[in-house]
Amino acid sequence: MSVDVRNFSIRSVLPLDGRQGRGNLPEARQSLRKPHSATKIYKTYYESPIGMIEIVGTGEEIEAVEFVETAEEVPGEIPVLLQNCLKQLDEYFQGKRREFSLDLRPGGTEFQRLVWQELMRIPYGGTASYKDIAEAIGNPRAVRAVGQANHRNPIAIIIPCHRVIGKDGSLTGYGGGLWRKEWLLGHEAGCRT
């Protein structure tokens, strides 16, 4: 499998303050900083076995990892962080990586970031229900809100929203499509030792 490294600059987005926790996911209670108009944002693409993945970030933090239909042809250099993200995704899909080591900056509400922080605790090859996540964040009645936060996760695979299932064990919604969720869970189950 080859790594495709096309990228370009786009506009700035609202970054988050602070880093803490596994994979340097920002702590859920951090506030938003003002956008830096001069911050350069880059895009690159990875062709995975389950479709094209777009990676967006600065030279210092990953802001989005999402499935897209096609990659855009764009000129320019790619920052080391995005190259590392490509490498780590490639290792993940080859079954050689179980955890990611990247600086992340997902934009979202405090509640969404709290949910995403909890998703980072679901082990490779494991699953948790929406109810499990709601209870873990101390709000057991927020099952639907957890589902919405899960759906709005901008950093697929790395923040493993695909590991969240229905309380009866059924596969439920996934922004990339249920077939991808099923593939990812099967991939992780097949790579466990």
Kindly list the catalytic residues: 161
Per DSSP bridges, beta strands 41-48 and 51-57 are: antiparallel
Q: Are 17 and 26 in contact (CB under 8 A)?
A: yes
| The amino acid at 70 | T
CA distances from 169 to 4, 44, 103, 131 (A): 35, 35, 31, 12
Residues forming beta bridges with residue 165, ordered by sequence position: 129
Q: Are 131 and 97 in contact (CB under 8 A)?
A: no
DSSP state of 57: E
DSSP-based helix, strand, coil % in the chain, nearest 5:
30, 15, 50
DSSP E strand boundaries for 60-181? 62-68, 128-129, 164-165
Radius of gyration for the alpha carbons in the chain, expressed in angstroms and rounded: 16
